[in-house]
């Protein structure tokens, strides 16, 4: 699929309207990642010919659609904590996510509620985006939990969003010190990032 930002934003705008707070500002929507970050990751995926992804933290679904535009398959994980913040049931949220993805024409997105729900036989993931719960050990544990699904046949890459948050940065440090990853801060214009790291092995 070719990245079509207009299609993504139109679908997201329709979907975000019922929220009426949080992610919706005067009719336009924003993901938690910036467009500069989203475009950087999409270019990276294309340039490195990455195919199979896992995203932790669907959120607005905008990051999901960006990534799915350039991957063959994307599993997106969200336990629905955002639904409670926005005073919605998880079921409502899941239906809205699915409607939005279908409307935008994405058939390569598979939603699950936890990493444990991912098919145990899946061992070919070469791209991960960690953007779920940023508290405590969650970022560290998300990285550990996806390990069984990552390819060992070629290099795989894990992107970490919000590394200005010390808990997320602790997850990056753990990957480098204890899990054998190399790592690098992605340098983007300061006003256009919340901190984005990539680790790879
Ligand atoms: C920062 S938002 C994701 C933003 C999204 N990637 C974007 O750019 O629009 C974090 C998301 O993680 C979800 N979440 C929180 N705790 C989680 C957990 N333990 N497992 C999976 N998802 C979780 C929340 O429901 C929320 O939607």
pLDDT of residue 90: 87
pLDDT of residue 200: 98
| Fold that domain 5-200 belongs to in CATH | Rossmann fold (3.40.50)
pLDDT of residue 16: 67
Cα(138) to ligand 1 centroid in Å equals 11
pLDDT of residue 30: 61
Q: Which atom of ligand 1 is nearest to the CA of 64?
A: 6
* C-alpha to C-alpha distance for 13 and 35, rounded to whole angstroms: 15
pLDDT of residue 111: 96
Closest CA to 160 of 199, 133, 188, 189: 199
Cα(163) to ligand 1 centroid in Å equals 15
* Sequence ranges of the domains in the chain: 5-200
Paired tokens of 123? 């061992």
Cα(57) to ligand 1 centroid in Å equals 3
Paired tokens of 125? 């993931």
Paired tokens of 86? 């926005």
Give the pLDDT of the chain (201 residues) as one tens digit per residue. Answer: 457 888 887 887 777 655 444 444 334 456 678 888 999 999 999 999 999 999 999 988 889 999 999 999 999 999 988 777 777 788 888 888 898 899 889 999 999 999 999 999 999 999 999 999 999 999 999 999 999 999 999 999 999 999 999 999 999 999 999 999 999 999 998 777 889 999 999
pTM, two decimal places? 0.93
pLDDT of residue 11: 81
pLDDT of residue 131: 96
- Interstrand relation of 109-112 and 28-29 (parallel, antiparallel or unpaired): unpaired
């Amino acid at each position: 699929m070719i990245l079509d930002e207009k299609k993504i934003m139109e679908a997201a705008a329709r979907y975000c309207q019922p929220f009426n707070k949080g992610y919706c500002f005067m009719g336009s929507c924003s993901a938690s990642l910036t467009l500069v970050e989203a475009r950087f990751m999409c270019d990276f995926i294309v340039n490195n010919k990455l195919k199979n992804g896992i995203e932790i933290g669907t959120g607005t679904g905008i990051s999901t659609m960006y990534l799915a535009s350039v991957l063959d398959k994307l599993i997106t994980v969200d336990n629905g904590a955002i639904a409670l913040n926005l005073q919605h049931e998880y079921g409502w949220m899941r239906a809205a996510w699915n409607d939005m993805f279908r409307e935008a024409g994405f058939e390569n997105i598979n939603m699950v509620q936890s990493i444990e729900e991912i098919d145990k036989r899946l061992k070919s993931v070469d791209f991960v985006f960690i953007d779920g719960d940023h508290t405590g050990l969650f970022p560290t544990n998300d990285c550990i939990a996806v390990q069984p699904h990552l390819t060992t046949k070629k290099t795989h890459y894990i992107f970490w969003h919000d590394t200005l948050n010390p808990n997320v940065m602790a997850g990056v440090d753990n990957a480098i010190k204890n899990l054998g990853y190399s790592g690098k801060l992605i340098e983007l214009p300061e006003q256009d990032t919340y901190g984005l790291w990539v680790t790879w092995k």
